[in-house]
Amino acid sequence: DAKTTQPTSMDCAEGRAANLPCNHSTISGNEYVYWYRQIHSQGPQYIIHGLKNNETNEMASLIITEDRKSSTLILPHATLRDTAVYYCIVKAGNTPLVFGKGTRLSVIA
């Protein structure tokens, strides 16, 4: 079973920041937070992951709370091409990704 809780769906205006929350209150000390997204009919795409420090790359920023029980994925300037299902996953080591239902983000023009 997935160890995370995400809203079922969210809307975001094009050009605005999209902030996707994830709750992982039972996260273990050695588990990382991973974010993937899946655009319709394509394979999941890796976005970012982190342990406890905030992370940023060319796609997004990951903000993890100090107690590590929740995190937020930030897409700074959402475009229509960011419309997808976003999955938040916690895991450690080489264990496989366990997907939940994710958040369906709709970016609206």
Report which of 75, 98, 76 is spatially closest to residue 87, judged by C-alpha positions: 98
Q: Quick one: which H or E segment has residue 103?
A: strand 103-108
In the complex with other proteins, the residue whose CB is nearer, 29 or 109, is 29
Which residues, 12 to 51, sit near other proteins by CB under 8 A?
32, 34, 41-46, 49, 51
Q: Does 86 interact with other proteins (rule: CB under 8 A)?
A: no
In the complex, the smallest distance separating the C-beta of residue 19 from other proteins, rounded to whole angstroms, is 21
CA quadruple 47, 56, 6, 97: dihedral sign:
positive
Place of tokens 């905030």: 54
Residues at the contact surface with other proteins, assessed by CB under 8 A: 2, 32, 34, 41-46, 49, 51, 87, 92-94, 96-102
